[in-house]
């Protein structure tokens, strides 16, 4: 920023693609710190609900108690409630016991194999005491059932058997009580709502058309093929090199190296636009992808508020430093 210019800006978000568990959007007119803060918060600080305490009554399966508890913890639960829920560590209702309705959800599981066939104990066997908090795959099956078709068919369909917890053989039994609590990804990855949260700088590609024209069709094709991803192509009509998908470019500089090797340095110039980012967010299902973004912004704002309203903090210097524009 020249001349101590303003840090104040109004980022713009344009959503490109949105599904329950997938979101692709552009973030423009801001810088890497903002984009990264958003990414980090989505990964580590958007709260979700996950199983945190397991009391095992009977376990005669092949997996030991800790093993099962660990597996249970990693099952994503629908966490739309998570933002309103309390952290059990600062829940007044239960004195930090973490077992009250405000800060926890109770699950029960009881499975016993009576047949000669191996019984798969899955997330569908987890019985919740809160209909809003379910394993995500179960919730999806219920939604599918509500939309049409029966519940049982959706649960039993081969591609949606739920997340396997353990397999039981004849006579083995598993019986347990599990408490799910609110938490954040910083404490344990099981509370992270994001499977993938990543962004890239939008590339800015300039082809030197004049120089490009000096290439033969064969050379053009060679040059295009040098890129591991399909960024360029040849227009079948004009036989000109066109940019098909600039975002496919992975900043590998292969095309630039190729151009140099062909003796045509400066054939193409590629820069990263420093103020626009393309985000890809995939959710575990615990929080819908767009909700994750909204929650992340919320959390980020709360964090900033916490800084802003801290009484003894001296913001005067900071204000000065930032040209008096911020805050």
Kindly state the tokens that stand for 60: 């005669």
Q: Which residues contact 120 (CB under 8 A, 6 or more apart)?
A: 161, 164, 167, 168
The distance of closest approach from Cβ of residue 59 to another protein in the complex, given in angstroms and rounded to an integer, is 7
Name which of 155 and 289 has its Cβ closer to another protein. 289
Decide if residue 228 touches another protein (CB under 8 A). Answer: yes
Interacting positions 14-33 with another protein (CB under 8 A): 32-33
Angle at 37 between CA 182 and CA 271, to 5 degrees: 145
Supply φ then ψ for residue 236, to 5 degrees: -65, -25
Three-class DSSP category at 6? coil
Identify the residue among 23, 25, 27, 44 touching another protein (CB under 8 A): 44
The distance of closest approach from Cβ of residue 153 to another protein in the complex, given in angstroms and rounded to an integer, is 30
Of 13-21, 39-47, 135-143, 155-163, the window that binds another protein (rule: CB under 8 A) is 39-47
x/- contact string, 67-106, with another protein (CB under 8 A)? x--x---x--------------------------------
x/- contact string, 147-186, with another protein (CB under 8 A)? --------------------------------------xx
Identify the residue among 52, 125, 137, 282 touching another protein (CB under 8 A): 282
Decide if residue 285 touches another protein (CB under 8 A). Answer: no
Long-range contacts of 84-91 (CB under 8 A, 24+ apart): 85/47, 85/49, 85/182, 86/182, 87/47, 87/181, 87/182, 87/183, 88/181, 88/182
Decide if residue 189 touches another protein (CB under 8 A). Answer: yes
Supply φ then ψ for residue 160, to 5 degrees: -135, 65
Helices marked H in 11-128 — which ranges?
32-44, 65-73
The distance of closest approach from Cβ of residue 314 to another protein in the complex, given in angstroms and rounded to an integer, is 25
Site for another protein (CB under 8 A): how many residues? 41
Helices marked H in the chain — which ranges?
32-44, 65-73, 136-147, 151-156, 209-213, 217-225, 254-261, 289-308, 316-321
x/- contact string, 243-262, with another protein (CB under 8 A)? -----x-xxx-x--------
Angle at 7 between CA 3 and CA 12, to 5 degrees: 130
x/- contact string, 47-66, with another protein (CB under 8 A)? ---------x--x--x-xxx
> Is the distance from CB of 35 to CB of 277 less than 8 angstroms?
yes
Q: Given CA atoms 86, 35, 32, 323 in this order, what sign does their dihedral have?
A: negative
Helices marked H in 104-252 — which ranges?
136-147, 151-156, 209-213, 217-225
Name which of 61 and 155 has its Cβ closer to another protein. 61
Identify the residue among 199, 276, 284, 288 touching another protein (CB under 8 A): 199
Dmax over Cα atoms in the chain, in whole Å?
78
Identify the residue among 181, 190, 220, 258 touching another protein (CB under 8 A): 190
The distance of closest approach from Cβ of residue 309 to another protein in the complex, given in angstroms and rounded to an integer, is 25
Name which of 107 and 277 has its Cβ closer to another protein. 277
- In angstroms, the CA 94 to CA 102 distance is 9
Residues in contact with another protein by the rule CB under 8 A? 32-33, 35-37, 39-40, 43-44, 56, 59, 62, 64-67, 70, 74, 185-186, 188-190, 192, 195-201, 228-229, 248, 250-252, 254, 272, 280, 282
């Amino acid at each position: 920023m020249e001349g101590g210019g303003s840090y104040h800006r109004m980022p713009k978000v344009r959503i490109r693609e949105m599904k329950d568990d997938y979101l692709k959007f552009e973030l423009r007119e801001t810088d890497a710190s903002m984009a990264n803060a958003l990414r980090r918060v989505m990964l580590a600080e958007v709260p979700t609900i996950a199983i945190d305490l397991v009391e095992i009554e009977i376990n005669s399966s092949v997996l030991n108690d800790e093993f099962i508890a660990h597996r249970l913890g990693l099952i994503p639960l629908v966490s739309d409630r998570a933002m309103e829920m309390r952290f059990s560590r600062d829940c007044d209702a239960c004195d930090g016991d973490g077992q009250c309705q405000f800060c926890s959800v109770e699950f029960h599981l009881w499975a016993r194999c009576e047949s000669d066939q191996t019984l798969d104990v899955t997330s569908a066997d987890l019985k919740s005491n809160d209909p809003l908090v379910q394993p995500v795959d179960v919730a999806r099956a219920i939604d599918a059932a509500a939309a049409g078709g029966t519940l049982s068919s959706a649960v039993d369909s081969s591609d949606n058997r739920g997340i396997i917890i353990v397999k039981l053989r004849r006579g083995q039994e598993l019986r347990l009580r599990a408490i799910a609590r609110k938490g954040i990804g910083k404490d344990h990855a099981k509370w992270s709502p994001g499977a993938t949260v990543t962004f890239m700088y939008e590339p800015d590609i300039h082809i030197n058309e004049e120089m490009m024209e000096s290439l033969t069709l064969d050379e053009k094709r060679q040059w295009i093929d040098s890129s591991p991803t399909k960024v360029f192509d040849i227009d079948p009509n004009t036989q000109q090199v066109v940019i098909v998908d600039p975002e496919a470019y992975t900043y590998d500089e292969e095309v630039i190296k190729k151009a140099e090797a062909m003796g045509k340095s400066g054939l193409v110039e590629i820069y990263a636009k420093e103020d626009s980012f393309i985000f890809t967010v995939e959710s575990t299902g615990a929080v819908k992808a767009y909700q994750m973004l909204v929650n992340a912004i919320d959390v980020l704002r709360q964090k900033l508020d916490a800084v802003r309203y801290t009484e003894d903090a001296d913001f005067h210097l900071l204000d000065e430093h930032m040209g008096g524009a911020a805050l």
